[in-house]
Chain A
Amino acid sequence: MSLVTNLTLFVLAAFLGYEIITKIPTNLHTPLMSGANAISGITLLGSVLVAGSGETMLATVLGVLAVVMATINVVGGYLVSHFMLSQFNRGGR
């Protein structure tokens, strides 16, 4: 994939993100943030690659650390959002 294609994706995703997020009510800003936070743990894909296939010892160690941190981010982020949102639903009757 070329740099220009990647930049195209970046710019389009930025506009899309802007459009979606401006529609989210203040009520949901905290769960939005922890949910979005979990999505930013997508860096886990990169971590998995370097941890699982690292060609040098150093790369593997860095990768393992990265996997642990990114997984905490992903699992914790989604769970926290889930708990918070279920509270909104309970209160929402």
Chain B
Amino acid sequence: MADGVLGHLPPSALELAYLVAAIFFIQGLRDMTHPRTATRGNLISSGGMFLAVLATVLYFEILSPVLLAASLLVGGAVGAWLAVSVETTEMPQLVGLFNGFGGGASTLVAGAELVDAVDPATTASLGLELTTTAAIAGIVGTVTFFGSLVAAGKLHGLVGDSPIQGRTNQVMQALFFAAAVLAGLFLIVQSGLLGEAPVAEWLPAYWALVAAAAIFGILLVYPIGGADMPVVIALLNSMSGLAAATTGFVLDNTALIVAGTLVGAAGLILTFIMCDSMNRSLTNVLFGSMAEGGDEDMEDIYEGNITETSPEEVEMMLDAAERVVIVPGYGMAVAQAQHAVAELADLLEETGVDVEFGIHPVAGRMPGHMNALLAEADVDYEQMRELESVNPTFSQTDVVIVTGANDVVNPSAKEDEGSPIAGMPVLEVWDARSVIVNKRSLSPGFSGIPNPLFAKDNTSMLFGDAKQSMQDLVDAYNENH
């Protein structure tokens, strides 16, 4: 098949090109460890991809170059258009969607390889390796594709994002997963081991596998609530890499194996970081449900203990402050308040106040969501502090502004062992001299439990939409300076 422009070269030439591409990917990821080198790393990584594709096209004979060029152009144009036209606030669903496409492509490639590998005239065995890896790639890729579509739909508001709990769904998930595995086993035994059945008889098994895996993927992600999306997005990211790696086994292609596995590992680590940040296991996020709320009544906690404040009062507190920490949550993303928040931070900095951002790992809908939004609003990354490093500083902080966050600042996680979120690492904002909580109402967050922070003596509530409230604070601050 090696009849391309450079097809006269030995196969090791192609392998060497893939090795160089792999080095580019690895160096690209290594450069991601610091914001200063990250842009370069991304370019290096894309260079590796270009090299790998170019080498492949030149080495192998392309029977239909026009068709190939056209499909590359269409894909490239759609990808570029999506990347350019999508707002930062829609980034989680876009990243989710891209994940899905990678997984879907892997499924199709594994299927096409099966179709091509068979000679209709004979019933020769396809070999255990090909059928096994194709079955795995088919399942992983399809679950990634359909799971990602549902996740993106949820993030875009097309599919309801409240968690659904129940046994029925778990039974259905198990059934369809088992069906996908059975179809895979059939494929392996019929065509891989026995090699008895002609193509028409076993190929439908692959498509049955794809259909069952598709339903499993939908059922897997559909019941998961919006606040657990960081875990889901990271997991789907990992799976898109694993799908590519298994497709690499199908095609016996080292570039796919190395690159796919790197991504699989990266996504899996992110997944576990997200789970740890919620003190929940992956199984619990995917199949479990949050424990039922404690017996505390919301009214008992809040009644008579809520202090309401106004932008003017907050402005006075900020005026006297030397150190301010801003804690953003998903509410900031929803209200697109990041620019107003950044403006407030800039104003405070200009008057000599030390301003930092305390960011919880699972704040928002994808890993690093808050950081990406604040970066868009020109916030210095040195100001964005992680949970472990910002927590000890709250006792020396004059004012904490919580905007659009709830569960990640809930003291119940530390103080109430019976709470559903007990043990979850939280931002201990209550150690600060005063806490301003900007929220639309006292309604509970994703966990569905009340937040005793709102009733603390040093907490005042600034009710309102995050963007409007932050803008009001900016205006109040400007009036007096």
Interface residues of B in 348-383 (CB under 8 A from A): 359, 361, 366-369, 371-372, 374-382
Q: Contact at B45–A67, with CB atoms within 8 Å?
A: no
Q: Across the interface, which residues of A come within 8 angstroms of B53, CB to CB? A: 44-45, 48
Q: Contact at B32–A80, with CB atoms within 8 Å?
A: no
Q: Contact at A48–B57, with CB atoms within 8 Å?
A: yes
Q: Contact at B367–A6, with CB atoms within 8 Å?
A: no
Q: A41-B102, A69-B101 are in contact. List 13 more A-B contacts (CB 8 A).
A: A10-B245, A10-B261, A13-B261, A15-B265, A24-B29, A46-B248, A68-B71, A69-B102, A73-B98, A74-B46, A78-B45, A81-B42, A87-B375
Q: Across the interface, which residues of A come within 8 angstroms of B392, CB to CB? A: none
Q: Contact at B52–A73, with CB atoms within 8 Å?
A: no
CA distance A62 to B104 in the complex (A): 11
Q: Across the interface, which residues of B come within 8 angstroms of A10, CB to CB? A: 245, 249, 257, 261
Q: Contact at B101–A70, with CB atoms within 8 Å?
A: yes
B28 to chain A: closest residue by CB: A35
CA distance A20 to B403 in the complex (A): 33
CB distance from B192 to the nearest CB of A (A): 13
Most chain-A CB neighbours within 10 Å: which of B39, B41, B65, B116? B116
CB distance from A53 to the nearest CB of B (A): 5
Q: Across the interface, which residues of A come within 8 angstroms of B45, CB to CB? A: 35, 38-39, 78
Q: Contact at B244–A43, with CB atoms within 8 Å?
A: yes
Say whether, besides A20-B30, A54-B63, A91-B380, A40 and B260 are in contact (CB < 8 Å): yes
Segment with Cβ contacts to A, from B107-115, B307-315, B419-427, B454-462: B107-115
Q: Contact at B366–A30, with CB atoms within 8 Å?
A: yes
Segment with Cβ contacts to A, from B153-161, B266-274, B291-299: B266-274
CA distance A90 to B374 in the complex (A): 11
Which of A28, A67, A80 contacts B71 (CB under 8 A)? A67
CA distance A68 to B71 in the complex (A): 5
Q: Contact at B264–A75, with CB atoms within 8 Å?
A: no
CB of B75 closer than 8 Å to a CB of A? yes
Q: Contact at A28–B38, with CB atoms within 8 Å?
A: yes
Interface residues of A (CB under 8 A from B): 1, 3, 6, 9-10, 13-18, 20-56, 58-60, 62-93
A8 to chain B: closest residue by CB: B257
Interface residues of B in 427-442 (CB under 8 A from A): none
Q: Contact at B256–A21, with CB atoms within 8 Å?
A: no
CB distance from A19 to the nearest CB of B (A): 9
Q: Across the interface, which residues of B come within 8 angstroms of A23, CB to CB? A: 33
CA distance A71 to B34 in the complex (A): 27
Q: Contact at B25–A39, with CB atoms within 8 Å?
A: yes
Q: Contact at B113–A50, with CB atoms within 8 Å?
A: yes
Most chain-B CB neighbours within 10 Å: which of A36, A50, A62? A36
Segment with Cβ contacts to A, from B76-84, B216-224, B324-332: B76-84
CB of B263 closer than 8 Å to a CB of A? yes
CA distance A47 to B116 in the complex (A): 13
30 A-B pairs whose Cβ atoms sit less than 8 Å apart in the complex: A6-B249, A6-B252, A13-B245, A21-B29, A27-B371, A30-B368, A31-B42, A37-B263, A39-B49, A40-B263, A41-B101, A42-B256, A43-B102, A47-B105, A54-B112, A56-B116, A63-B109, A64-B68, A65-B105, A66-B106, A66-B109, A69-B75, A72-B76, A73-B101, A74-B49, A76-B98, A79-B79, A79-B80, A79-B83, A88-B35
**Chain B's interface: helix, strand, loop or mixed, by majority?**
helix
CA distance A18 to B249 in the complex (A): 21
CA distance A20 to B385 in the complex (A): 21
Q: Across the interface, which residues of A come within 8 angstroms of B237, CB to CB? A: 33, 36-37, 40
Q: Contact at B80–A76, with CB atoms within 8 Å?
A: yes
CB of B99 closer than 8 Å to a CB of A? yes
Q: Across the interface, which residues of B come within 8 angstroms of A66, CB to CB? A: 104-106, 108-109, 112
> 1/0 per residue B35-55: CB within 8 Å of A?
110110111011001001100
Which of B368, B377, B384 contacts A32 (CB under 8 A)? B368
Say whether, besides A35-B32, A50-B113, A82 and B39 are in contact (CB < 8 Å): yes
Q: Contact at A64–B71, with CB atoms within 8 Å?
A: yes
Q: Contact at B105–A13, with CB atoms within 8 Å?
A: no
CB of B60 closer than 8 Å to a CB of A? yes
Q: Across the interface, which residues of A come within 8 angstroms of B105, CB to CB? A: 41, 43-44, 46-47, 65-67, 69-70, 73
> 1/0 per residue B110-147: CB within 8 Å of A?
01110110000000000001000000000000000000
CB of B233 closer than 8 Å to a CB of A? yes
